[in-house]
Amino acid sequence: MVNVLVVGSGGREHALGWKLLQSKQIDKVFFAPGNGGTPNNISIQVDEIDKLIEFATNNDCFTVVGPEVPLSKGIVDRFMENNLGIFGPTKEAAQLESSKIWAKQFMQRHNIPTAPFGIFDNAKEAKEYVSSLSYPVVIKADGLAAGKGVIVCDGKDDAMSAIDDILTNHTFGAAGASIVIEKRVDGVEASYIALSDGMAAVPMATSQDHKRIYDGDRGPNTGGMGAYSPTGIITEEMAKKIQKDVIEKTIHSMKEEGIPFKGFLYAGIMIKDGEPYVLEFNTRMGDPECQPIMMRMSSDLYEYLLASYQGKLNLLPPVSWKSQTAVCVVLASKGYPDSFAKNEKITGLDKVNDEKTMVFHAGTKLEDGNILSNGGRVLGVTALGASLESAINNAYLAVQKINWNSKYCRADIGKKGLAYL
C-alpha cells in the first residue's frame, strides 16, 4: 500500500484524488493545500517545493501534480533530484504550456498543425502586423495567465485594444511581456488529452470544454465553465488523426529534442473542414475536463500514473471507460473571471448524494463546520447519464439543490454536443 500526495486545490485535484482513492494499491491520499471538500489537507502551497519534498519524504508519498504553476517552476526536476516518485513533466517539457511562443515555434519546427502566427514584444510593431493582415486574429500572452491570457478578436479594433492591454498596460504582468498573434481558425473546439511516459502515448476519453463565461459562448474566456465526455465532435477517425499527427508526433519530437515528455499532454483542438489544428498545449489534465473524464474512467488511475513515471505504459492495456456520458457544470461566484465575493455559506451539498452525481470542490474552504465560497470557480457538479441529454439533466437537477448568495453558472453546458450525436 502506498500514500499519494496530490498537489493543488482545484476541482481537477479533487477529481484526481477521488479517483486515486478507489485504487486498491493506495492507503491514503493527501492534498496540498486542498480545499473544503478534500480530505487530509496539508497547509503547504503548490509552489512551496521544499516543504512538499519534505512531506513526501516523511510520508512515503508518490506525488501527483495537478496545476501548471509548480510544473513551470520545476517541481518534477526537484523531486527527481531527491529520488522521489512524481507524476508530471519536467520544467523544460512543461514549456509546451508555460510559453506559448516556445510551443508555437516547436509546432512549426515539427510540422504539427497549428494556425499561422507572429511573435511580438513591441506594441507598435504588433499593431503594424495586425493592420497588414486580411483575417481576424487571436492574441495570446506568452506566459501562464490562469486560462485568461487568450483574447479572441472580432475585428482590428479589438486586436489593437488587446495589444494595448497586454503589452502597454501589462494586464497579465510578466506573462504578457511577449505575445503571439495568430490567425483565428473558426471551427469546432474540443479537448484531446493523452497520457505519456516519454515514449508511448495512451489516449484518454475525449471531451469538450466551455471556456466563455456566458451562455452561447459569449463574453471573456475563463478557466472553464463546464465540460462533458465523450464528445461526438471527435469521431473515431478524427481521434486517430489527432493521436497520430498531434500527440504521437509531439511525444516523438520532444524525445528527439532531448526533452522526453512524461505526464498528461492536453491538446486544445480546433476542427475546421475535417482538419485538426492545435490551439494550445497544456502539460497537465484539463480543468474542468478532468471531472467528467474521471467519472467515466473504469481503469485504476494510479497504475497508469505510476507507469508514466516508470516508462512502462507499453505494458498496460488501453484505458477502459464506462459507456455512460458525464457532464460537469461549474458553479462560479458572480463577477468571475474578474472580481467576486468570497466567504459565502454554501447550502444544499448534503442533498446531492446519489451514485451518479459527484460534487467536486474547487474554490471552497471548510470553516466551523460550514463550506464557504473561496474562489471564482467554486464547485464542479458532475453527473453520469445513459446519454448526453440525460447526463445534462442529471447535472442540472443537482445544480438546483446547491445555493449561495453569489452562485452563477451557465445554463447550456453540453448542449452544443447534442448536434453531434
H or E stretch at 3: strand 2-8
Enclosing domain of residue 194: 188-315
Q: Is residue 116, in this structure, part of any structural domain at all?
A: no
Spatial CA neighbour of 46 closest among 60, 21, 66: 66
Q: Is residue 279, in this structure, part of any structural domain at all?
A: yes
Do 7 and 73 lie in one domain? The reply is: yes
This prediction has a pTM of 0.95
Residues ≥6 apart with Cβ < 8 Å to 168: 123
Task: Give, for all 421 residues of the chain, the pLDDT tens digit.
Answer: 999 999 999 999 999 999 999 999 999 999 999 999 999 999 999 999 999 999 999 999 999 999 999 999 999 999 999 999 999 999 999 999 999 999 999 999 999 999 999 999 989 999 999 889 888 999 999 998 876 788 888 888 899 999 999 999 898 999 899 999 999 999 999 999 999 999 999 999 999 999 999 999 999 889 999 999 999 999 999 999 999 999 999 999 999 999 999 999 999 999 999 999 999 999 999 999 999 999 999 999 999 999 999 999 999 999 999 999 999 999 999 999 999 999 999 999 999 988 999 999 999 999 999 999 999 999 999 999 999 999 999 999 999 999 999 999 999 999 999 998 8
Residues ≥6 apart with Cβ < 8 Å to 403: 346, 347, 348
> How far is Cα 67 from Cα 75, in angstroms, rounded to an integer?
11
Do 220 and 307 lie in one domain? The reply is: yes
Q: How many domains does the chain have?
A: 4
Phi then psi for residue 180, to 5 deg, are -110, 130
335 phi-psi bin (left φ>0, alpha ψ -120 to 50, beta other): left
Q: Judge contact between 251 and 267, C-beta under 8 A.
A: no
Do 308 and 210 lie in one domain? The reply is: yes
Phi then psi for residue 189, to 5 deg, are -100, 140
CATH of the domain at 35: 3.40.50.20
Q: Is residue 105, in this structure, part of any structural domain at all?
A: no
Q: Is residue 366, in this structure, part of any structural domain at all?
A: yes
Spatial CA neighbour of 201 closest among 48, 32, 318: 318
**Which residues make beta-bridge pairs with 329?**
226, 381
